[in-house]
Structure 1
Amino acid sequence: MFNELYQKSLTLASHKSAKVFLAIISFVESSFFPIPPDVMIVPMVIAKKNDYLKIFMIATLFSTLGGILGYFIGVYFLDFGMSVVGFYGYEEKVLSLKNDLTSGTGFYIWLATLFLAGFTPLPFKVFTITSGMIDFNLFIFLLICLFSRGLRFFIISFLSFKLGDTFNAFMKTKAAMWSTIIGIIIVLIFLVIYFVTK
């Protein structure tokens, strides 16, 4: 099923209404859909290089809006939310998370986790739904979604624009590892700045 959805997403990237489909996939991926928008972004930018900023903005905006939907699924549709979380095997972690957030550092741990989920290949929808379940601050949630998703999609769009098929080949083999490493480095930099200026 996953491979079939992946191939359909790739096919939509070459459709005349590709930007509309990118908006839809970016939206639903942040709340329940398993295929990330990156699958469409790379071939779309390679096909229409001058549109790379527009493609990045569409993906960022609709992914953030989808994140808000995920948040409210966590608030109002707990059973459905838990079924999505359970699909990815995170149910035990979610159930124990609320207790962790009562500690002083729990808030900052979730902040870093949410950023990493938005920037790396972690299933972002699990963390948008969980944010609603644990009643995480909605305004801060929105800012983290915009920042993490925007940074990720800008890097992907820009490198697709600059490197074309070379970057496409890289995305298919090593993107997950490098995005995780970069995401962790960014979080560590913010933590160092926070503790130095505290």
Structure 2
Amino acid sequence: MLRNLYDWTMSLADHPRALWALAVVAFVESSVFPIPPDVLMIPMILARPSRAWLIALVATVASVLGGLLGYGIGYFFYEAIGEPILSSLGKAHAMEEFNVRFNGVGFWAVLIAGVTPFPYKVITIMSGWTAMPLATFVVTSIIARALRFFIVASLLRAFGTPVRDFIERRLGLVFTGFIGLLIGGFYVVRFM
């Protein structure tokens, strides 16, 4: 079953509308979707290494735009939903303290979440929720997401064939490692 899913993803990666699919996945992953765009981006680059920079650029732009949606969710819906709940629990002051602390390190939080497997959507929503300056959020998101996607693109472009051979020979191990990173990211979010 895993082999069939891999083969299907590789065929989708070479589809004429693959860039649009990547843009949609990168956009929604930045605010609500649990699957990172790497799942589609990596096979797309492996299938067509000559398009690595274009693929990374599409993922970066769509991810930052999706991050703005996440920021908006946190910014506009915190007052309607989050604040009344915290006030009823007598915790509104705790949120104000958290906002100050988060925004003090917000640049680094966005940068780290944007580059690592840490769920970026958590930081996009929290950035809006804490009213991080929008310019700081956008600039940091562009830097972080470009770093992440262009590093992956560079590595795959340079070492694509051996990487593809490794993945195809050890598909179960690669899948297990990816799931481990995903679970680790959720674990970090829970205890952060």
What displacement does 1:114 show?
1.4
1:149-164 correspondence runs (5 A): 149-164=145-160
Contact kept in structure 2, 1:46 and 1:160, CA below 8 Å: yes
Q: Secondary structure of the equivalent of 2:35? A: coil
What displacement does 1:80 show?
10
Bigger drift between 165-174 and 28-37 goes to 165-174
Tell me, in whole angstroms, the C-alpha distance in 1 between the residues paired with 2:156 and 2:78: 38
Tell me, in whole angstroms, the C-alpha distance in 2 between the residues paired with 1:124 and 1:38: 13
Give the TM-score of the pair, scaled to structure 2: 0.71
What displacement does 1:10 show?
3.2
Tell me, in whole angstroms, the C-alpha distance in 2 between the residues paired with 1:76 and 1:152: 28
Q: Secondary structure of the equivalent of 1:142? A: helix
1:102 and 2:130 are equivalent in the alignment:
no
Contact kept in structure 2, 1:31 and 1:129, CA below 8 Å: yes
Query: What residue number does 1:87 align with?
Result: none
Distance change (3 Å), C-alpha of 1:32 and 1:146: same
1:28 and 2:65 are equivalent in the alignment:
no
Distance change (3 Å), C-alpha of 1:114 and 1:99: same
The unaligned stretches of length 5 or more in structure 2 are: 83-92, 168-172, 186-192
Identity of aligned residues (%): 35
Per-residue CA distance 1:1-60 (angstroms, 9 max, x = gap): xx9xx97x9364343210010011010000100111111111111111111110010000
Q: Secondary structure of the equivalent of 2:100? A: coil
What displacement does 1:79 show?
8.9
Query: What residue number does 2:188 align with?
Result: none
Contact kept in structure 1, 2:13 and 2:47, CA below 8 Å: no
AA aligned to 2:68 is I
1:138 and 2:137 are equivalent in the alignment:
no
Tell me, in whole angstroms, the C-alpha distance in 1 between the residues paired with 2:174 and 2:157: 13
Contact kept in structure 2, 1:52 and 1:157, CA below 8 Å: yes
1:30-69 correspondence runs (5 A): 30-69=30-69
Tell me, in whole angstroms, the C-alpha distance in 1 between the residues paired with 2:157 and 2:81: 36
Give the TM-score of the pair, scaled to structure 1: 0.69
The unaligned stretches of length 5 or more in structure 1 are: 83-94, 181-198
Tell me, in whole angstroms, the C-alpha distance in 2 between the residues paired with 1:81 and 1:20: 33
Distance change (3 Å), C-alpha of 1:20 and 1:110: same
Contact kept in structure 2, 1:73 and 1:81, CA below 8 Å: no
Which of structures 1 and 2 has the bigger CA Rg?
2
Contact kept in structure 2, 1:14 and 1:44, CA below 8 Å: yes
Distance change (3 Å), C-alpha of 1:50 and 1:100: same
AA aligned to 2:143 is F
What displacement does 1:78 show?
3.5
AA aligned to 1:100 is F
AA aligned to 1:135 is A
Bigger drift between 49-58 and 11-20 goes to 11-20
Query: What residue number does 1:112 align with?
Result: 108
Distance change (3 Å), C-alpha of 1:134 and 1:101: closer
Bigger drift between 10-19 and 122-131 goes to 10-19
Query: What residue number does 2:90 align with?
Result: none
Query: Over aligned residues, Cα RMSD in angstroms?
Result: 3.3
